[in-house]
Amino acid sequence: MNYVKFKGEDVPLGGSRLKEGDLAPNFVLVDRELENVTLENFEGKTKVVSVVPSLDTSVCLMSTKKMNDLAKEHPDFAFIIVSADLPFAQSRICTGEKLENLHFLSMMRSKAFAESYGLLIDEGPLAGLASRCVLVLDEKDRIIYIEVVEEITSEPNYESLEASLRQ
């Protein structure tokens, strides 16, 4: 079983952890218009997928703002933010924070995404949410960068992510 930490305590994750070189599993998530979206919607693009537990937390919001900044620097890439928030909350936050360069997707209809990506928090106060993770997928959906943030309350390593985007 895979683990991350939440405030220093071990938290088990459901599913198998993905690694660089793996083909990213397809998914069905919900966009802000309540439409189903799959990985195929971004076919042929390099994708940066930032998975956050909830945009209503300061760390998740801060990392999403950073992704928005990176998206401005890399307009040819698809920047995708995945959270358990309802699309209505995602829209409110997106509008309020002027986040214009991101695709927001919700796990509201299913936790299958989090499980197939090895990120589903199985137990504890955050059970049912996804652990924090950043992935870069090439045009053929192969994982070329992955960071499962070991402490849920911490931000990802932006320097490492940016280095992977420059390659």
- C-alpha 150/C-alpha 92 separation (Å) is 29
- C-alpha 94/C-alpha 41 separation (Å) is 20
Catalytic residue among 30, 51, 60, 114: 60
Best CA proximity match to 13, nearest among 114, 134, 105: 114
Inter-residue contact 51 to 82 (CB < 8 Å): yes
Inter-residue contact 24 to 143 (CB < 8 Å): yes
Give me the residue label for tokens 């053929």: 140
- Consecutive H or E run containing 58: helix 58-73
Active site residue 133: no
Using a 10 angstrom Cβ sphere, with 0-12 exposed, 13-18 middle and 19 or more buried, the burial of residue 35 is exposed
Catalytic residues: 60
